[in-house]
Amino acid sequence: MLSDKTVLVTGGTGSFGHAFVPLTLERFNPSKLIIYSRDEMKQWEMAKKFPDDPRLRFFIGDVRDRERLYRALDGVDLVVHAAATKIVPTAEYNPFECVKTNILGAMNLIDACIDKGVQRVVALSTDKASSPINLYGATKLASDKLFIAGNAYSGAHDTRFTVVRYGNVMGSRGSVIPFFLSVRDSGVVPITDERMTRFMISLEQGVELVWSAFEDMVGGEIYVKKIPSMKVTDLARVVAPEARQEIVGIRPGEKLHEQMIGVEDSPTTYEYPDYFKILPSINDWGGDSKRIKGGEKVAEGFVYASDSNSEWMSDDDLHAWIDANQGNIGAI
């Protein structure tokens, strides 16, 4: 799907883009891979990692800027939408700015992709969009709904939209593993709640889910990767075995357990070997038979959450991941 195509990644200088770009250039050989983002310094730093690759292009722009999107999308075949305001406290203190990027930016991109004849769009979502309790999650739920509805909004055009959803990425900047590594020498690791669990996904797995979505999508699906869970106390014990764990209390806007599929989604959710697929719940536009493709409908009342997950990451698996990614943890 990506070979010999022109691909544009919004927010492409973030954690996802730093994994997606080298892996996609190596595996699929796109004719052009465009990084669309608003931070010139991040683009300059990223460009230095690919000094002699003519396939990679950089385009300064913001998803809030509809006219700039129209220019950037000229001749583009495929789009990965990774741009977002995603830090929970930042969103709460700057709600108008979060809405402008996550909701209005999604609207701008949908309109521009349809009008410029983009073939397929995969938008990145988050566990926080499932039964949201903070503004960031609420804006991403709205964004998800917009992209799904974009398949009807496109009318006679051939542009198709889908969504991929996964939790916090292991080792990404600001996530729990680099934080625990940074404080372990102090002898104390703060734990918000000893019952807390989290899904564990690597950047590479997130990239592979996007690739799979491009290959499989009809339009209107939400793909949810099957990934293991881990208790935060166990995670801290592996990362900082000599440190004492201190319970500090759950933070505002934070969930005890991550959830990627809520009970309300179970009537339209299907299971596959490596992922789940949530189909449109209000209007399937006559396409559900094409979207299911051999999947098995989940049980009534099904919930995919980190505490009730059937797959758990072992201490050895986490040790192996840390050893393999030592130099990259917290870097992007």
Is residue 320 included in any domain, yes or no? no
Residue 85 belongs to some domain of the structure: yes
- pLDDT tens for 223-278 read 999 999 999 999 999 999 999 999 999 888 889 999 999 999 999 999 999 999 99
**In-domain check, residue 244:** no
Interatomic CA distance for residues 210 and 169, integer angstroms: 14
Residue 194 in any domain: the answer is: no
Extract the tokens encoding 80.
């990965």
Number of H helices, E strands in the chain: 12, 16
**Residues of the chain where predicted confidence (pLDDT) is lower than 70:** 284-287, 330-332
Which residues form the catalytic set? 128
pLDDT at 331: 61
Give the model's pLDDT for residue 46. Answer: 95
At 285 the pLDDT is 66
Residue 100 within a domain? yes
Reported pTM: 0.95
What separation in angstroms does the CA of 249 have from each of 23, 30, 110, 168? 39, 47, 40, 20
Number of domains observed in the structure of the chain: 1
Show the beta-strand stretches assigned E in the chain.
6-10, 32-37, 56-60, 78-81, 120-126, 160-166, 188-191, 197-199, 222-225, 229-231, 244-247, 259-261, 269-271, 275-278, 296-297, 304-305
Q: What is the CATH number of the domain that holds 119?
A: 3.40.50.720
Q: Concatenate the DSSP letters of all residues of 35-57 into one string.
A: EEES-HHHHHHHHTTSTT-TTEE
Using alpha carbons, select from 59, 67, 14 the residue that is nearest to residue 32: 59
Per the domain annotation, does 310 fall within a domain?
Answer: no
Q: Is residue 52 part of a domain?
A: yes
Q: Give a yes or no: residue 179 inside a domain.
A: no
Amino acid at 90: T
Residue 8: name the closest of 55, 107, 76 by CA: 76
pLDDT at 261: 97
Q: Which domain holds residue 282?
A: 6-167+201-226+260-304
Q: What is the pLDDT of residues 177-211, one digit of tens each?
A: 888 988 988 999 999 999 999 999 998 999 999 99
3-class SS of residue 107: helix
Q: Which residues of 123-161 are buried (b: 16+ CB within 10 A; e: fewer)?
A: bbbbbbbbbbebbbbbbbbbbbbbbbbbbebbeeeebbb
